[in-house]
């Protein structure tokens, strides 16, 4: 949320606490899990900074010493990581980078990013192409575990972004829904879930609630989903291992 919106989020309880549970980079983690892309898997399993890695791919090693690295080049790397997931067009990438950095970079830069995607993330590219081919043949995609499906009328040409988006955002959303279901026994008159925004859950806590104790209980249920529930089943289905990480704030 923008700071102006965050300031408006207040507890319904006098002296209460707002606690958020955020899944870390869940879209990128799902993409790594489904695609088996070696660079994505290595980043999550070895604790590397994906956005720095992408920035180095785009600007070269010298970018690490740039005085604007955190505000400009790394932000562009972050934007391109998500653009890779959804096959964003050069125009869309340019607009997103402008929103992140305030700089309107040359369109030719983003045209090169689009052209070189398959070199930067070859496993992700192959998986995306397999989804597109499946839609071209069958007209729909069917997801594992829960059996959700989507039909794409008009074929791949009309729906490229949505075809590669559907498995990532649906299975990311499923992960949080599995966690939401797991933590349901903790909710009640003094612990209320008032917001779920796809990769985060917001809880409103009565002042009598021991926050640290509640966090430990939440961690137990999240890790149940990670180790034995939906996330574990996804890992088994795709044959890849990606840690599921989260933050409280």
Task: State how far the Cα of 13 lies from the Cα of 7, in Å rounded to an integer.
Answer: 16
- Which pLDDT value is given to residue 7? 87
Return the number of other C-beta atoms located less than 10 Å from residue 180's C-beta: 16
Task: State how far the Cα of 227 lies from the Cα of 125, in Å rounded to an integer.
Answer: 28
Task: State how far the Cα of 72 lies from the Cα of 235, in Å rounded to an integer.
Answer: 34
- Which pLDDT value is given to residue 5? 87
Per the CB < 8 A criterion, the answer to whether 164 and 85 are in contact is: yes
Tokens of 1: 């949320």
In order along its 249 residues, the chain shows pLDDT tens digits of 788 988 889 999 999 999 999 999 999 999 999 999 999 999 999 988 999 999 999 999 999 999 999 999 999 999 999 999 999 999 999 999 999 999 999 999 999 999 999 999 999 999 999 999 999 999 999 999 999 999 999 989 889 999 999 999 999 999 999 999 999 999 999 999 999 998 999 999 999 999 999 999 999 999 999 999 999 999 999 999 999 999 999
Among candidate residues 19, 23, 20, the one with its CA nearest the CA of residue 210: 19
72 CB burial (10 A radius; 0-12, 13-18, 19+):
buried
Per the CB < 8 A criterion, the answer to whether 203 and 191 are in contact is: yes
Q: Looking only at Cα atoms, what is the longest distance across the chain?
A: 58
- Which pLDDT value is given to residue 83? 95
């Amino acid at each position: 949320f923008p700071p102006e919106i965050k300031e408006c989020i207040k507890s319904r309880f006098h002296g209460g606490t707002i606690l958020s549970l955020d899944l870390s980079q869940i879209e990128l983690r799902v993409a790594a899990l489904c695609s088996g892309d070696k660079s994505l898997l290595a980043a999550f399993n070895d604790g590397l900074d994906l956005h720095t890695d992408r920035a180095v791919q785009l600007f070269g090693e010298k970018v690490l010493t740039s005085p604007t690295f955190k505000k400009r080049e790394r932000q562009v790397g972050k934007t391109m990581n998500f653009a890779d997931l959804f096959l964003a067009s050069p125009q869309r990438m340019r607009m997103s980078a402008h929103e992140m950095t305030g700089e309107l970079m040359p369109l030719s830069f983003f045209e090169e990013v689009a052209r070189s995607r398959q070199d930067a993330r070859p496993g992700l590219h192959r998986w995306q192409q397999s989804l597109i081919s499946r839609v071209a043949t069958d007209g729909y995609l069917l997801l594992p575990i829960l059996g959700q499906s989507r039909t794409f009328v008009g074929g791949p040409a009309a729906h490229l972004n949505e075809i590669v988006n559907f498995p990532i955002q649906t299975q990311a959303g499923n992960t949080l829904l599995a966690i939401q279901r797991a933590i349901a026994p903790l909710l009640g008159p003094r612990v209320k879930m008032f917001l779920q925004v796809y990769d985060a859950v917001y809880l409103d806590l009565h002042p009598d609630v021991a926050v640290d104790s509640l966090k430990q209980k939440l961690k137990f249920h999240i890790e149940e989903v990670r180790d034995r529930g939906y996330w574990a089943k996804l890992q088994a289905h795709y044959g890849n291992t990606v840690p599921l990480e989260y933050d409280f704030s």
